[in-house]
Amino acid sequence: MHYQKQNNLLSKNQIIISIKEKIIAFFIDVANVINYQKSVFKNIFTNTFEFNEFLKQCYQIGNKSVGLISITGIIIGLVLTIQSRPPLVKFGAVGILPGMVAISIIREMGPVITALICAGKIGSSMGAELGSMRVTEQIDAMEVSNTNPINFLVVPRVLAATIMIPILTLYADVIGIFGSWLGVNIKDDVSLTLFIHQAFKNVEFIDLIPALIKSFFFGAVIGMVGCYKGFNAGRGTESVGIAANSAVVTSSLLLIIVDLIAVQITDLL
């Protein structure tokens, strides 16, 4: 009985110690993230901006993502059209199908799906690339040689993601609407000109602005998280995979949170 009480006390103490350690680790991570963001914003406005590296990252982000976004955009347009058509047929409102799909893609589906695809494609790439550089001590070598790794590695990637995600979002919107036209022509025979006229008859320019604004934030989140996870990876080789996986999971979760906040702000305005 006495030993059982001692074991219970030890287990409770271990649980308390574990909780304290997790809380301390959480606040340490928060402090590291804040310092990291300060360093990134500070280096954005310096005279030593790596413009060539920025252009290289823009090309790589667009080149790596455009094929997957093309396929996904067409599928989204097809699925939305095929799934929405039967209920509209029952109510005799098939004529509003192009406008409904266009608004859905422009306001929500295009930005969010594009951001999630880029989080998996670009975020993991950034995490793995910078993580491997950390493991092989290339980042340490840059610091020793008086080269600022934040300015050369992180800032171009963050800015490239921030600028390219809205461009890819616009591309995904166009491809998605084209996919919707293909979906409509499975059952009907509608010309592309008439479909575009019907699609944009109820779409206003103000519908595009909030979607583009939050796309900039999506890009910043993907770039920041991907670079942070890779830049602060551990020393072992397995840390590269951990950094890539963590970059995808964390950025995807933050994208959903940012989208929720953006929708609430848009609704208030």
Per-residue pLDDT band at 12 (split at 50, 70, 90): low
Mean pLDDT (whole number) for 97-113: 88
On the question of pLDDT at 9 being above 80, the answer is no
Per-residue pLDDT band at 232 (split at 50, 70, 90): confident
- Within a domain: residue 188? yes
On the question of pLDDT at 6 being above 70, the answer is no
Mean pLDDT (whole number) for 210-237: 87
More confident position, 31 or 210? 210
CA distance 269 to 266: 5
More confident position, 232 or 76? 76
Q: What pLDDT, on a 0 to 100 scale, did the predictor assign at position 166?
A: 93
Q: What pLDDT, on a 0 to 100 scale, did the predictor assign at position 171?
A: 93
CA distance 69 to 59: 15
Q: What pLDDT, on a 0 to 100 scale, did the predictor assign at position 93?
A: 76
Per-residue pLDDT band at 7 (split at 50, 70, 90): low
Mean pLDDT (whole number) for 113-135: 89
- Within a domain: residue 33? no
122: how many CB neighbours lie within 10 A of its CB?
30
- Within a domain: residue 94? yes
On the question of pLDDT at 137 being above 60, the answer is yes
The parent domain of residue 133 ranges over: 50-268
Q: Which of 123, 105, 106 is nearest to 220 (CA)?
A: 123
| Number of domains present in the structure of the chain | 1
- Within a domain: residue 27? no
- Within a domain: residue 31? no
More confident position, 104 or 30? 104
On the question of pLDDT at 163 being above 90, the answer is yes
Q: What pLDDT, on a 0 to 100 scale, did the predictor assign at position 167?
A: 93
- Within a domain: residue 122? yes
On the question of pLDDT at 26 being above 70, the answer is no
On the question of pLDDT at 78 being above 60, the answer is yes
CA distance 95 to 199: 10
Q: What pLDDT, on a 0 to 100 scale, did the predictor assign at position 240?
A: 84
Q: What pLDDT, on a 0 to 100 scale, did the predictor assign at position 165?
A: 93
- Within a domain: residue 22? no
Tokens at 153, concatenated: 């590695």
Q: Using N-to-C axis directions, what is the helix angle for 192-200 and 97-104, rounded to 10°?
A: 70
Q: Which amino acid is at 45?
A: F
More confident position, 35 or 47? 35
On the question of pLDDT at 64 being above 90, the answer is no
- Within a domain: residue 6? no
Contact between 253 and 243 under an 8 Å Cβ cutoff? The reply is no
pTM (predicted TM-score):
0.85
Residue 111: what are its φ and ψ, rounded to 5°? -60, -45
